[in-house]
Amino acid sequence: MNNFVYGFFYPFKCIKLFFIYPKLIAYSIVPMVINLIIYGTIFYFTFQWITGKANDSIDISNTNFLIEIIKTFLKVFTFLLVILVCYFLFIIFGGIVAAPFNERISRLVEIKFFHHRTSNELPFLKDAVISIKEELKKVLFYLSVLIPLFFINFIPMIGSTISIVVGTPFSFFYNALDYLDYPMTRSMRTFRQKLQVVDSQRSLSLGFGCMAFLLTVIPVVNVLMNPLLVAAGTSLYHEKKYGK
């Protein structure tokens, strides 16, 4: 439990890194702008589509009390659904596009604060290709679990319960993997090895992943906090000696 709590609050411990070495702030600007554009686009079109479907499902000209209650409930449900859909899409597309820039943040933390430099440093473009390739592997892993859970959700009586019980810890685990991944990629670990490394300190990883999930699901906050989570994931990886 102590490890879970430590991992949960660890991102906030790493805020100081950006003030100790301001270059991290400069490195964060590009991925923040990219993620803001991606998330804003996803949010706009998702909101338009879902609210359009919601409005079509009810007669908005009817103004009796019961209809007003249903409208209010529908608005709240629609907003939460938009947030959830945007989270899933942002995890997929935002991670892929911003991966090369997140890699630079992670590498800088590794060098400046842990004096660790990998022997296989590559030019930016080659590094970008590798980063995007590894992101695609994570996306396939994510979808391989998410899609079955989506269909399980339709099983009467128990489907929703199974989805929540399995999906919640999986989301925490995936978010931990997502932000611990950068130093593991530089160490040339296979994807199977990465899963084993993250699971080797499960409680710590789930705590960190839980906070990463909470910060990632909140609109705008997710864009601002992404560089912090990248730095925190790299710092946690070396501080707690994952995989050693």
DSSP states along 10-66:
HHHHTHHHHHHSTHHHHHHHHHHHHHHHHHHHHHHHHHHHHHHHHHHTS-TT---HH
Work out the average pLDDT over 21-43: 86
Q: Quote the pLDDT of residue 80.
A: 79
Q: How far apart are CA 6 and CA 17, in angstroms?
A: 17
- At 109-138, the pLDDT tens digits run 999 888 877 656 656 667 677 777 888 889
- Domains in the chain: boundaries: 2-239
Neighbours of 172 (CB within 10 A): 24
Q: Quote the pLDDT of residue 204.
A: 97
| Closest to 110 in 3D by CA, of 184, 175, 172 | 184
Q: How far apart are CA 171 and CA 166, in angstroms?
A: 9
Work out the average pLDDT over 95-113: 87
Q: Quote the pLDDT of residue 218.
A: 87
- At 67-93, the pLDDT tens digits run 677 777 777 777 777 788 888 787 777
Query: What would the 3-class secondary structure string for 120-162 be?
Result: CCCCHHHHHHHHHHHHHHHHHHHHHHHHHHHHHCCCCCCHHHH
Could you tell me the pLDDT band of residue 106, with boundaries at 50, 70 and 90? Answer: very high
- At 151-175, the pLDDT tens digits run 898 888 888 899 889 999 999 999 9
Could you tell me the pLDDT band of residue 53, with boundaries at 50, 70 and 90? Answer: low
| Closest to 198 in 3D by CA, of 214, 212, 179, 215 | 179
Q: Quote the pLDDT of residue 127.
A: 67
Using CA atoms in the order 196, 193, 14, 115, what is the torsion angle rounded to 10 degrees? 130
Q: Whole-model pTM?
A: 0.83
- At 188-237, the pLDDT tens digits run 899 999 999 999 999 999 999 999 999 998 888 888 899 999 999 999 99
| Per-residue buried b or exposed e for 126-146, using 16+ beta carbons within 10 Å of the residue's own CB | ebbebbbebbeebbeebeeeb
Token pair 């709240």 is at which residue? 76
